[in-house]
Amino acid sequence: MFISFEGTEGVGKSTLIATLHQILSQRYAVVLTREPGGTPLAEKIREILLQPNQEKMSDSTELLLIYAARAQHVEQVILPALQQNKIVLCDRFVDASIAYQYGGRGMDREKIDILTQNFVKQLPEITFWLDAPVALGMQRAQKRGELDRFEQEKLEFFNGVRVAYQELAEQEPDRIVRIDATQRPEEIAAQALELIEQRLKHKNS
Ligand code: TMP
Protein backbone atom coordinates (compact mmCIF):
# COMPACT_ATOMS: atom_id res chain seq x y z
CA MET A 1 0.00 0.00 0.00
CA PHE A 2 1.29 3.38 -1.05
CA ILE A 3 0.50 6.25 1.36
CA SER A 4 1.62 9.87 0.98
CA PHE A 5 1.53 12.84 3.37
CA GLU A 6 0.99 16.43 2.35
CA GLY A 7 0.55 19.87 3.82
CA THR A 8 2.15 23.30 4.11
CA GLU A 9 5.21 23.84 6.31
CA GLY A 10 5.04 23.14 10.04
CA VAL A 11 1.75 21.20 10.09
CA GLY A 12 3.24 18.14 11.87
CA LYS A 13 3.83 15.81 8.92
CA SER A 14 7.14 14.47 10.24
CA THR A 15 5.68 13.71 13.66
CA LEU A 16 2.74 11.84 12.14
CA ILE A 17 4.93 9.85 9.74
CA ALA A 18 7.38 8.87 12.52
CA THR A 19 4.52 7.67 14.74
CA LEU A 20 2.87 5.66 11.96
CA HIS A 21 6.20 4.17 10.96
CA GLN A 22 6.87 3.03 14.49
CA ILE A 23 3.42 1.47 14.93
CA LEU A 24 3.01 -0.11 11.50
CA SER A 25 6.55 -1.56 11.46
CA GLN A 26 5.59 -3.81 14.36
CA ARG A 27 3.23 -5.71 12.05
CA TYR A 28 4.14 -4.95 8.45
CA ALA A 29 7.16 -4.38 6.23
CA VAL A 30 7.26 -0.60 5.91
CA VAL A 31 9.41 1.69 3.77
CA LEU A 32 9.75 5.27 4.93
CA THR A 33 10.77 7.73 2.26
CA ARG A 34 10.39 11.33 1.12
CA GLU A 35 10.28 13.75 -1.79
CA PRO A 36 12.15 15.44 -3.15
CA GLY A 37 14.67 12.73 -2.26
CA GLY A 38 14.54 9.08 -1.26
CA THR A 39 17.62 7.86 -3.20
CA PRO A 40 21.20 9.18 -3.04
CA LEU A 41 20.83 10.90 -6.43
CA ALA A 42 17.38 12.32 -5.62
CA GLU A 43 18.71 13.58 -2.26
CA LYS A 44 21.42 15.53 -4.15
CA ILE A 45 18.68 17.12 -6.26
CA ARG A 46 16.80 17.91 -3.03
CA GLU A 47 19.84 19.81 -1.74
CA ILE A 48 19.89 21.93 -4.90
CA LEU A 49 16.16 22.61 -4.60
CA LEU A 50 16.21 23.62 -0.93
CA GLN A 51 19.46 25.59 -0.81
CA PRO A 52 18.56 29.30 -0.49
CA ASN A 53 21.77 31.11 -1.50
CA GLN A 54 22.14 30.49 -5.17
CA GLU A 55 21.20 32.14 -8.43
CA LYS A 56 17.46 32.59 -8.74
CA MET A 57 16.01 29.28 -9.87
CA SER A 58 13.42 29.55 -12.62
CA ASP A 59 10.03 27.93 -12.04
CA SER A 60 10.60 25.55 -14.96
CA THR A 61 13.97 24.44 -13.61
CA GLU A 62 12.41 23.85 -10.21
CA LEU A 63 9.61 21.74 -11.68
CA LEU A 64 11.94 19.65 -13.85
CA LEU A 65 14.38 19.04 -11.00
CA ILE A 66 11.48 17.85 -8.83
CA TYR A 67 10.36 15.43 -11.55
CA ALA A 68 13.93 14.26 -12.21
CA ALA A 69 14.22 13.35 -8.54
CA ARG A 70 10.74 11.78 -8.62
CA ALA A 71 11.48 9.58 -11.65
CA GLN A 72 14.55 8.18 -9.89
CA HIS A 73 12.65 7.69 -6.64
CA VAL A 74 9.66 5.96 -8.25
CA GLU A 75 11.82 3.53 -10.19
CA GLN A 76 14.41 2.81 -7.52
CA VAL A 77 12.37 2.83 -4.32
CA ILE A 78 8.59 3.05 -4.63
CA LEU A 79 7.82 0.50 -7.34
CA PRO A 80 10.23 -2.17 -6.00
CA ALA A 81 8.79 -1.78 -2.48
CA LEU A 82 5.20 -2.07 -3.73
CA GLN A 83 6.11 -5.12 -5.78
CA GLN A 84 7.35 -6.70 -2.55
CA ASN A 85 3.99 -5.91 -0.90
CA LYS A 86 5.49 -3.39 1.48
CA ILE A 87 3.73 -0.36 2.89
CA VAL A 88 5.33 2.81 1.51
CA LEU A 89 5.03 5.93 3.66
CA CYS A 90 6.09 8.85 1.49
CA ASP A 91 6.56 12.36 2.87
CA ARG A 92 5.09 14.36 -0.08
CA PHE A 93 4.45 13.19 -3.64
CA VAL A 94 2.79 14.51 -6.85
CA ASP A 95 0.17 16.53 -4.98
CA ALA A 96 3.00 18.68 -3.60
CA SER A 97 3.93 19.62 -7.18
CA ILE A 98 0.38 20.71 -7.92
CA ALA A 99 0.14 22.54 -4.59
CA TYR A 100 3.55 24.27 -4.69
CA GLN A 101 4.35 24.69 -8.39
CA TYR A 102 0.75 25.37 -9.56
CA GLY A 103 -0.87 26.77 -6.39
CA GLY A 104 2.22 28.56 -5.05
CA ARG A 105 4.26 29.49 -8.13
CA GLY A 106 1.28 29.86 -10.48
CA MET A 107 2.59 27.46 -13.13
CA ASP A 108 0.26 25.92 -15.67
CA ARG A 109 -1.30 22.84 -14.10
CA GLU A 110 -1.32 21.01 -17.42
CA LYS A 111 2.50 21.08 -17.56
CA ILE A 112 2.62 19.29 -14.22
CA ASP A 113 -0.08 16.78 -15.13
CA ILE A 114 1.78 15.87 -18.33
CA LEU A 115 4.93 15.09 -16.36
CA THR A 116 2.93 12.98 -13.92
CA GLN A 117 1.22 11.06 -16.72
CA ASN A 118 4.55 10.34 -18.38
CA PHE A 119 6.89 9.68 -15.48
CA VAL A 120 4.84 8.52 -12.51
CA LYS A 121 3.52 5.01 -12.81
CA GLN A 122 1.77 4.79 -9.48
CA LEU A 123 -0.35 7.19 -7.46
CA PRO A 124 -0.83 6.76 -3.69
CA GLU A 125 -3.88 4.84 -2.49
CA ILE A 126 -4.24 7.19 0.46
CA THR A 127 -2.95 10.74 0.76
CA PHE A 128 -3.24 12.41 4.14
CA TRP A 129 -3.46 16.16 3.83
CA LEU A 130 -2.60 17.80 7.14
CA ASP A 131 -4.37 21.11 7.04
CA ALA A 132 -3.88 24.08 9.36
CA PRO A 133 -3.92 27.86 8.94
CA VAL A 134 -0.77 28.82 7.06
CA ALA A 135 0.43 31.40 9.61
CA LEU A 136 0.41 28.80 12.38
CA GLY A 137 2.60 26.40 10.39
CA MET A 138 4.98 29.16 9.33
CA GLN A 139 5.54 30.10 12.98
CA ARG A 140 6.38 26.47 13.80
CA ALA A 141 8.73 26.21 10.79
CA GLN A 142 10.51 29.43 11.81
CA LYS A 143 11.18 28.01 15.27
CA ARG A 144 13.01 25.03 13.70
CA GLY A 145 15.88 27.30 12.67
CA GLU A 146 17.30 28.34 9.31
CA LEU A 147 14.69 28.53 6.57
CA ASP A 148 15.14 26.67 3.27
CA ARG A 149 14.38 28.16 -0.17
CA PHE A 150 10.67 27.25 0.05
CA GLU A 151 10.24 28.20 3.70
CA GLN A 152 11.49 31.70 2.85
CA GLU A 153 8.42 32.28 0.68
CA LYS A 154 5.71 34.73 1.83
CA LEU A 155 2.32 34.05 3.38
CA GLU A 156 0.65 34.65 0.02
CA PHE A 157 2.61 31.78 -1.57
CA PHE A 158 1.56 29.34 1.15
CA ASN A 159 -2.05 30.49 0.96
CA GLY A 160 -1.93 29.55 -2.73
CA VAL A 161 -0.46 26.17 -1.80
CA ARG A 162 -3.23 25.54 0.71
CA VAL A 163 -5.97 26.50 -1.74
CA ALA A 164 -4.53 24.05 -4.28
CA TYR A 165 -4.53 21.24 -1.69
CA GLN A 166 -8.18 22.07 -0.99
CA GLU A 167 -8.94 21.92 -4.71
CA LEU A 168 -7.20 18.54 -5.01
CA ALA A 169 -9.05 17.14 -2.00
CA GLU A 170 -12.35 18.13 -3.61
CA GLN A 171 -11.34 16.57 -6.93
CA GLU A 172 -10.18 13.28 -5.41
CA PRO A 173 -12.17 12.67 -2.21
CA ASP A 174 -11.54 8.90 -2.21
CA ARG A 175 -7.78 9.27 -2.19
CA ILE A 176 -7.11 12.54 -0.38
CA VAL A 177 -8.14 12.66 3.26
CA ARG A 178 -8.05 15.98 5.06
CA ILE A 179 -6.96 15.87 8.68
CA ASP A 180 -7.35 18.90 10.93
CA ALA A 181 -3.71 19.54 11.86
CA THR A 182 -4.61 21.84 14.75
CA GLN A 183 -5.56 18.73 16.78
CA ARG A 184 -3.18 17.03 19.21
CA PRO A 185 -0.56 14.75 17.54
CA GLU A 186 -2.10 11.65 19.19
CA GLU A 187 -5.52 12.45 17.73
CA ILE A 188 -4.03 12.99 14.28
CA ALA A 189 -2.14 9.68 14.43
CA ALA A 190 -5.21 7.78 15.67
CA GLN A 191 -7.34 9.07 12.78
CA ALA A 192 -4.73 8.19 10.20
CA LEU A 193 -4.10 4.75 11.67
CA GLU A 194 -7.79 3.90 11.74
CA LEU A 195 -8.16 4.65 8.06
CA ILE A 196 -5.02 2.72 7.10
CA GLU A 197 -6.20 -0.35 9.04
CA GLN A 198 -9.63 -0.10 7.40
CA ARG A 199 -8.15 0.05 3.91
CA LEU A 200 -5.70 -2.77 4.65
CA LYS A 201 -8.56 -4.98 5.87
CA HIS A 202 -10.60 -4.15 2.80
CA LYS A 203 -7.63 -4.89 0.52
CA ASN A 204 -6.93 -8.25 2.10
CA SER A 205 -10.58 -9.41 2.26
P1 TMP B 1 9.98 19.32 3.28
O2 TMP B 1 10.00 17.91 2.85
O3 TMP B 1 10.89 19.60 4.41
O4 TMP B 1 8.61 19.88 3.44
O5 TMP B 1 10.68 20.16 2.11
C6 TMP B 1 10.42 19.95 0.81
C7 TMP B 1 10.04 21.25 0.15
O8 TMP B 1 9.93 21.00 -1.24
C9 TMP B 1 8.71 21.80 0.63
O10 TMP B 1 8.83 23.16 0.94
C11 TMP B 1 7.80 21.66 -0.56
C12 TMP B 1 8.73 21.54 -1.74
N13 TMP B 1 8.20 20.66 -2.79
C14 TMP B 1 7.68 21.24 -3.93
O15 TMP B 1 7.68 22.45 -4.07
N16 TMP B 1 7.17 20.41 -4.90
C17 TMP B 1 7.16 19.04 -4.78
O18 TMP B 1 6.68 18.34 -5.68
C19 TMP B 1 7.71 18.47 -3.58
C20 TMP B 1 7.72 16.98 -3.42
C21 TMP B 1 8.21 19.32 -2.61
For the chain, the farthest-separated pair of C-alpha atoms sits apart, in whole angstroms, at 53
Query: What pLDDT does residue 136 have?
Result: 87
Q: Which residues contact 195 (CB under 8 A, 6 or more apart)?
A: 126, 177
SS3 (DSSP) at 145: coil
β-pair partners for 6: 129
Residues with CB under 6 A from ligand 1: 34-36, 66, 91-92, 96-97, 100-101, 150
Q: For residue 2, what are the CA distances in angstroms to 57, 84, 132?
A: 31, 12, 24
Distance CA 143, CA 175 (A): 32
pLDDT by position in tens, the chain (length 205): 999 999 999 999 999 999 999 999 999 999 999 999 999 999 999 999 999 977 999 999 999 999 999 999 999 999 999 999 999 999 999 999 999 999 999 999 999 999 999 999 899 999 999 999 999 888 888 888 889 999 999 999 999 999 999 999 999 999 999 999 999 999 999 999 999 999 999 887 8
Q: Which of 120, 108, 101, 95 is nearest to 175 (CA)?
A: 95
56 Cα: distance to centroid of ligand 1 (angstroms): 17
Query: What pLDDT does residue 145 have?
Result: 85
- What fold, for 2-28+89-204? Rossmann fold (3.40.50)
The minimum-distance atom of ligand 1 relative to the CA of 149 is: 10
Query: What pLDDT does residue 161 have?
Result: 98
Among protein residues, the one with the nearest Cα to ligand 1's atom 16 is 97
Question: Which residues are part of a known binding site for ATP?
Answer: 7-14
CB 2 within 8 A of CB 88: yes
All structural domains of the chain with their residue ranges: 2-28+89-204
Distance CA 159, CA 181 (A): 16
Task: Tell me the whole-structure pTM to 2 decimals.
Answer: 0.97
Distance CA 182, CA 103 (A): 22
38 Cα: distance to centroid of ligand 1 (angstroms): 13
The minimum-distance atom of ligand 1 relative to the CA of 93 is: 20
Query: What pLDDT does residue 186 have?
Result: 97
